[in-house]
Amino acid sequence: MNAQRGVVLIVSLVFLLLLTLLATSSMQNATLQEKVAGSLSLRHDSFQRAETVLRAAEAAVLEPGFALPECSTPTMCLPPMDALTRTAAGSGGASDVSWVSSHGGFYGIQHLGQTEDPAGAGERGEFRRLYRVTAVGLQGSTRTVLESIHTDRGRVMWRQRL
């Protein structure tokens, strides 16, 4: 009888160890899911801020009399790379874009030139100025960069840069 009492203690300790491992694994899983949910929330907020900034910049382009000087060289007309690293509004950088602060982010506008038929819209007959609007939304450590191409009549194209 005395030998069996030791076996019950060992079996109960093994079950306790298994329950402890199961509880630890569950807590790690819950912590990971919390981090993923927080990250998704930051990305969503960042996207919403970038969209708000983009709309504000597009409204500026649609204002009567809005004009900017055309890009001086084809390289200056490329999408601004500093949108992926810049943390605040201001001027300078390789792209020579002036960044304007707005609603939780900032934006830059480039005058790309003129076209008679933006995006094949069939509007031949008069030239339209093309502008690239680049909007950056920041939320925590998350950054969203949105771009749109505009004429003085409205948006021609939209994309999210990664």
pLDDT at 60 (0 to 100):
92
Q: Identify the three-state secondary structure at position 145.
A: strand
Burial class of residue 52 (count of CB atoms within 10 Å of its CB; 0-12, 13-18, 19+): middle
Domain ranges of the chain: 3-161
Tens of pLDDT, residue by residue, the chain (162 residues): 555 667 888 889 999 999 999 999 999 999 999 999 988 999 999 999 999 999 999 999 999 888 899 988 888 889 999 899 988 898 877 778 899 998 889 999 999 988 887 766 566 677 888 999 999 999 988 999 999 998 878 888 889 987
